Amino acid sequence: MKEKMKEIAFLDITDNKRLILSIGEYRDDERVDLRLFVKIDNEFIPTKKGINFHSEHLEGFINMISKLNDV
């Protein structure tokens, strides 16, 4: 059974590509998902391109991304 992810935010890359940040549960684990979606027939569909990780790693992920401010 597929679990529902709650969309937190999105970033339009082009008219037909969007990055979507979601959070939800899968097999009783809270997961974070950052995935590329493409527009097909006026609907954004998820692709295999993205990352999905346990929410316990969220703080480390945020710290890693914040290092982009230093370059």
Which CATH number belongs to the domain containing residue 60 in this structure?
2.30.31.10
Q: Tally the residues of the chain.
A: 71
SS3 track for 1-45: CCCCEEEEEEEECCCCEEEEEEEEEECCEEEEEEEEEEEECCEEE
Structural domain total, the chain: 1
Map residue 62 onto helix, strand or coil: helix
Q: Which domain holds residue 43?
A: 5-70
CA 45, CA 6: separation in Å to the nearest integer?
15
CA 46, CA 44: separation in Å to the nearest integer?
7
The reported pLDDT for the residue numbered 29 is 92
The reported pLDDT for the residue numbered 28 is 86
pTM for this one? 0.86
Per-residue pLDDT of the chain (71 residues; tens, 9 = 90+): 456 889 999 999 999 999 999 999 988 899 999 999 999 999 999 999 999 999 999 999 999 999 999 98
